[in-house]
């Protein structure tokens, strides 16, 4: 029985089951790649250029602490640009670092 499932091609030119399975997997992968369109990407928020602080809610927080708070409040994934935009809305220990990095880039 194992000879039937994975045996080599016979003299008449038939293909083994293993080769058929490999070809099927290749074709399925090709179809999946063709059906994927770039328009299915998530909305990426733009990085805002106005670096004016609007609140002081992260005043005594570090970047990881403030980011954790933002992600918990969002209750779901956020794009890094949205996290950045929310971080620069409020002054904090990282406020000057972010402003200096933005000016340098």
Reply yes or no on whether the pLDDT at 18 is more than 70.
yes
Residues 1-18, mean pLDDT to the nearest whole number: 59
Lookup: tokens for 99: 């402003």
Q: For the chain, which residues make up each domain, given as ranges?
A: 2-40, 45-105
Query: What pLDDT score does 94 carry?
Result: 59
Q: 28-47, pLDDT tens digit by residue? A: 888 877 775 555 556 788 87
Query: What pLDDT score does 99 carry?
Result: 66
50, 88 contact by CB (below 8 A) = no
Lookup: tokens for 69: 């708070």
The tally of CA atoms less than 13 A away on the side-chain side of residue 104 is: 6
Q: 86-102, pLDDT tens digit by residue? A: 888 776 655 566 666 77
Query: What pLDDT score does 79 carry?
Result: 92
């Amino acid at each position: 029985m194992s000879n039937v499932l994975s045996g080599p091609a016979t003299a008449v030119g038939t293909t083994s089951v293993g080769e058929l399975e490999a070809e099927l997997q290749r074709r399925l992968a090709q179809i999946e790649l063709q059906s994927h369109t770039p328009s299915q990407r998530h909305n990426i928020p733009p990085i805002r250029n106005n670096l004016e602080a609007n609140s002081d809610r992260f005043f005594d927080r570090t970047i990881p602490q403030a980011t954790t708070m933002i992600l918990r409040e969002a209750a779901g994934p956020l794009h890094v640009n949205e996290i950045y935009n929310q971080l620069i809305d409020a002054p904090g220990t990282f406020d000057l670092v972010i402003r200096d990095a933005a000016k340098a880039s």
